Structure 1
Amino acid sequence: MGETIPIAVPRKGRPLESVLERIAERLDVPELADDITSTLRHEKALTKGTLDPDGEDVYHRLADYSTVADPTEPEYTLLRDDRAGKPRRIVFDSVTIPIGGIDGAPEGAAIQLVGREEPFRALRTHEFGLGFDSADLVLEEVVELRPEPLDRIADVNARINPADTDVQVVTGLGDTVYHTLLATPDVAPSPGSLDRDFLETYEGPLCIEPRYERLVQAVLGTRALEGIEFRYPDDGREEEAAIADAGLGVYLTVTGSTARDHGLLLGEQLFPSETVLLENTAETTETVEFVRSLLNGGDLETELAVGH
């Protein structure tokens, strides 16, 4: 009988969808991935109030989803959402996926995706040998702060002190958005000059999300932050609006349309935010190595292997 390898994954959102897309592609389970994604998108819409729950409360819906006898069917759980009123939201819990026979895996082998609020931390405490999480959390938790900037996910492992953690980044999944430098026209020297070189001479406020403070320090480098004062958006206020008030800031952008709506210019894309496959090297076994290679691969278009 083959071994089942647990893998920590996010419970919801874009990172989990990226993991499910990767699993669907590598293990040929598109229906399972679509089922989990559509269920969670439906539940998100109910939590946001954009869909009517038709009178069935969240506990009944959870029972409908998770009354399963087969571990290869997905199960869900409840968490408090961070929206107004802190409603309970249905999120992913676990599912077991057989891999026996795939690329030579022994019969009976399987992986179990296990939802965690912060998979990276679950790997750090040796609960798992493999997991997926945002590269951002690695920067926020363990990378060393240096005078020089960090601009590539490929360089993250070199800044992880082995004394701090056994976790390393294996690869990215290509679901890239960027931490981007944003500024008002009166602060930016010009759109083409709104970059790291500008920050070297800039002195004044820089608006960021509080949770990204260490990440921004790593990405910009401590030398560039001399003379810069961090400011933070007030609770409940749009980040782009707060950056417009401060004049300069760093925030995640996809198209940049919301930033432009607030009169902001888009500058340099400072660092890619991407879901990454992580490994705790102290928990590596032959089976874990096989599963890692199964989920990895050169077909990924990821910032992890792309230079600037």
Structure 2
Amino acid sequence: MSEPVPVAVPRKGRPLEAVLERIAAVGPDDRLDGLADRVSNTLRYEKAVTKGRVDAEDGPYERLTEYSDPEDPQQPEFTLLRDDRDGKPRRIVFDAATVDLGEVTLKLVGREEPFRALRTHEFALGFDSADLVLEEVVGIRAGGLGQIADINDRIDPVDTDVRVVNGLGDTVYHTLMGRPEGIEPGTDLDRDFVAEYEGSLCISPRYERLVTAVLGTDALEGVEFVYPNADEEEEAAIARTGLGVYLTVTGSTAREHGLVVGEHLFPSETVLMRNAAEHDPRVECALDAIAVESPSSEIRV
């Protein structure tokens, strides 16, 4: 087996599952499907334990020993982290796995913030949420971000060498939502509506820069960002405010709160990224193996 190419990946959740599905899809046999299933099932169980939905018979260290086999490089490894919820409970998350794709071998390495690991040149390749790219490095302009392909054009090369390659298709959307009584009949709830709107716009605090980049500063003149109260559902906060932006797949929960679901402003999707300053034939070979286009992806770069 050749020396593995290190690839930074998320430690848990939907983004990690999307990465494992991509790796399994480009693998030479169905063995990597088994790896994806094992990691995903383990972490779903551990999430249920962390959330208190399941009572584990063994403690976290016993479970960690059961899950990991450091003597077998073909098996996934897990590790313990402190969750950031009240009480800082311990949570078992993905640590690493070596995957043989035939012409190249990858070492998937779990990171809390893969994008930042690429920014510091710790890795040449990695996967993370497109949201984080917008939150950190995409330039704010008067006009909004109209197409996902514009992401790389909005990244200042002085700021970072990281570029988006393509998306994995695990798409949910930052969607405009509002109370129907605040929308004139025949009016579309879209970017143009926001451009004419003055008042409060409810968003998650972490997405202030993202929403600004997507809508543009011109459209946000006269708009004040407000945020959900502690322990308040985002859809409920938007219903209380009258207008807002929130992540959604189908919009069913928003409709349960009496909201109209408007334009999908921006797809939130796991993306493959590379540090363009890192030049290595092994990295190029790895990129050729994993940079396949997903037909369900909204990312077209």
Same fold (TM over 0.5): yes
TM range (shorter): over 0.9
Q: Deviations over 1:156-211 (max 9, x none)?
A: 00000100000000000111110000111122234851111111110000010011
Residue range with higher mean Cα deviation, 26-35 or 8-17: 26-35
Asked whether the 8 Å contact 2:169–2:294 carries over to 1, the reply is: no
Alignment of 1:204 with 2:199, yes or no, is yes
In the TM superposition, residue 36 of structure 1 has moved relative to its aligned partner by 0.4
Rate the CA distance shift 1:84–1:265 in 2: closer, same or farther, 3 A.
Answer: farther
TM-score, structure 1 length as denominator? 0.93
Residue range with higher mean Cα deviation, 271-280 or 42-51: 42-51
- In 1: Cα distance, 2:195 partner to 2:180 partner: 18
- In 1: Cα distance, 2:136 partner to 2:3 partner: 31
Aligned to 1:176: 171
Alignment of 1:9 with 2:9, yes or no, is yes
Aligned to 1:254: 249
Residue range with higher mean Cα deviation, 19-28 or 186-195: 186-195
Residue range with higher mean Cα deviation, 137-146 or 73-82: 73-82
Aligned to 1:46: 49
Alignment of 1:94 with 2:96, yes or no, is yes
Task: Indicate the percent of aligned positions where both proteins have the same amino acid.
Answer: 63
Rate the CA distance shift 1:70–1:213 in 2: closer, same or farther, 3 A.
Answer: same
In the TM superposition, residue 82 of structure 1 has moved relative to its aligned partner by 3.7
Query: Counterparts in 2 of 1:1-308, with a 5 A limit?
Result: 2-27=2-27, 28=29, 29-54=32-57, 56-99=58-101, 102=102, 105=103, 109-190=104-185, 193-305=188-300
Unmatched runs of 5 consecutive residues or more in structure 2 = none
- In 1: Cα distance, 2:97 partner to 2:164 partner: 24
- Partner of 2:141, secondary structure, is coil
Residue range with higher mean Cα deviation, 290-299 or 8-17: 290-299
In the TM superposition, residue 235 of structure 1 has moved relative to its aligned partner by 2.1
Asked whether the 8 Å contact 1:192–1:267 carries over to 2, the reply is: no
- In 1: Cα distance, 2:8 partner to 2:55 partner: 32
Asked whether the 8 Å contact 1:152–1:272 carries over to 2, the reply is: no
Asked whether the 8 Å contact 1:208–1:250 carries over to 2, the reply is: yes
Which amino acid counterpart does residue 14 of structure 2 have in structure 1?
R
Asked whether the 8 Å contact 1:191–1:265 carries over to 2, the reply is: no
- Partner of 2:261, secondary structure, is strand
- In 2: Cα distance, 1:185 partner to 1:161 partner: 39
Which amino acid counterpart does residue 75 of structure 1 have in structure 2?
E
- In 1: Cα distance, 2:5 partner to 2:186 partner: 49
Residue range with higher mean Cα deviation, 149-158 or 218-227: 149-158
- In 2: Cα distance, 1:20 partner to 1:256 partner: 27
Asked whether the 8 Å contact 2:134–2:213 carries over to 1, the reply is: yes
Q: Deviations over 1:203-237 (max 9, x none)?
A: 00001001100000000001000000000112221
In the TM superposition, residue 76 of structure 1 has moved relative to its aligned partner by 0.7
In the TM superposition, residue 260 of structure 1 has moved relative to its aligned partner by 1.1
- Partner of 1:76, secondary structure, is strand
Unmatched runs of 5 consecutive residues or more in structure 1 = none
Rate the CA distance shift 1:280–1:35 in 2: closer, same or farther, 3 A.
Answer: same
- Partner of 2:174, secondary structure, is strand
- Partner of 1:123, secondary structure, is helix
